Amino acid sequence: MAIILQDIPLTKAIILQDIPLTKAIILQDIPLTKAIIYQDIPLTKAIILQDIPLTKAIILQDIPLTKAIILQDIPLTEAIILQDIPLTKAIILQDIPLTKAIILQDIPLTKAIILQDIPLTKAIILQDIPLTKAIILQDIPLTKAIILQDIPQTMTNIKQDISHTMTNIRQDISHTMTNI
């Protein structure tokens, strides 16, 4: 299918390398200050990067995608790294001012990870977590890192340095899990 690059002021390279595309990659109205690298990604749906001012690199490497990765209206100040993640649903990053990196590494996803309207001051790290439900972080100001490491299915056994904000996060996740 078509690769569409429309109305994008580029200051660095967009690298699309070794990607078998079955749908369109759409980069629209995105001021880029660093490189967007799509390497070795078999795509079965669209990757949509729309209205995103980027100050660092978005790296999508070695990711078999069965649904869309949507990055919309996100001012990025650090890298979003999606590495070695088999996706069966959508990862949605919408309206999130990021000051640190969101790292999704080695995570088999069976549902959507939704990060919406969250001002982040630290890193969100999701590593080695088999997810069977959605992780929903909505309207939560974070001042500490959310570290989910080697935790199957639920986020109840988080043993890290967490501020009082995490209590609300845990309650929101528990409530959401119950609804799901």
Q: What local confidence, expressed as pLDDT, does residue 104 receive?
A: 76
Q: Which of 116, 113, 118, 128 is nearest to 98 (CA)?
A: 118
Q: What local confidence, expressed as pLDDT, does residue 159 receive?
A: 32
**Does residue 162 carry a pLDDT above 70?**
no
How many whole angstroms separate alpha carbon 53 and alpha carbon 31? Answer: 5
**Does residue 160 carry a pLDDT above 50?**
no
Q: What local confidence, expressed as pLDDT, does residue 165 receive?
A: 43
Question: Across residues 92-101, what is the average pLDDT?
Answer: 72
How many whole angstroms separate alpha carbon 1 and alpha carbon 115? Answer: 29
How many whole angstroms separate alpha carbon 44 and alpha carbon 53? Answer: 26
Q: How confident is the model at residue 82 (pLDDT cuts 50, 70, 90)?
A: confident
**Does residue 177 carry a pLDDT above 70?**
no
Q: What local confidence, expressed as pLDDT, does residue 164 receive?
A: 40
**Does residue 2 carry a pLDDT above 50?**
yes
Question: Across residues 51-62, what is the average pLDDT?
Answer: 76
Q: How far is CA 171 from the centre of its chain?
A: 22
Give the contacts of 113 (CB within 8 A, at least 6 positions apart).
91, 92, 104, 126, 131, 134, 135
Helix (H, G, I), strand (E, B) or coil at 168: helix
DSSP conformational letter for 164: T
**Does residue 163 carry a pLDDT above 50?**
no
Q: How far is CA 72 from the centre of its chain?
A: 11
**Does residue 157 carry a pLDDT above 60?**
no
What pLDDT, in 10s, does the model give residues 22-45? Answer: 777 777 777 777 777 777 777 777
Q: What local confidence, expressed as pLDDT, does residue 67 receive?
A: 74
